[in-house]
Amino acid sequence: MYNQDIMERFLNPCFAGIIRGASGVGSAKDPNTNETIKLYIEVNADAVITDAKFKAFGCPVVIAVADALSQMIVGMPIEQAQELNEARVLNMFNEIPQERLYSIFLAIDALNETIDDYAKKLRKLQKKLLADNKDESTKSTEDDEHNEENTLDTFNDYYDE
């Protein structure tokens, strides 16, 4: 029924699993079939995807496509992953039955949700770091002002006598 590429990935998915504490997590669900792909990515400081895992519920094509997409994005800069489209994923397979092409859209939707989650987490971290830096800067300024007041008091005490 399915070609060799699909069956090999379905029977032996290399990227099935989860990533605890993932940089980004997203999922997509087909409303007609309830088939679901949940994707996890790990992104390094250079904004390169260093690992990808998936969990999927669905037909062999859904699982094969999720595995292929996960393989495709590992080592890819996040900006390049954002630009992935259905045609690039489809090119990884010799043939996908017409009635199962929605699997590719499902995988791309899951990827986009995952990248959005990563971006939200990154913005949240940046805001926290800016707030922490501002708090540290304010504290440092207050300490400097306090030290300056103490210096002036000592200076005035010395010359007042």
| Domain residue limits, the chain | 4-123
Higher local confidence (pLDDT), 102 or 159 = 102
C-alpha to C-alpha distance for 154 and 133, rounded to whole angstroms = 31
* Coil, strand or helix at 156: helix
Which pTM was predicted?
0.79
Tell me the average pLDDT across 82-109. Answer: 91
The predicted structure's pLDDT at residue 121: 94
* Sheet strands side by side (includes 36-43): 24-29, 36-43, 49-57
The predicted structure's pLDDT at residue 130: 86
* Top-tier CATH class for 4-123: alpha beta
Residue the block writes with tokens 């060799």: 4
Higher local confidence (pLDDT), 158 or 88 = 88
pLDDT band at 161 (very low <50, low <70, confident <90, very high): very low
* Confidence check: pLDDT of 16 > 60: yes
HSE-CB for 149 with a 13 A CA cutoff:
6
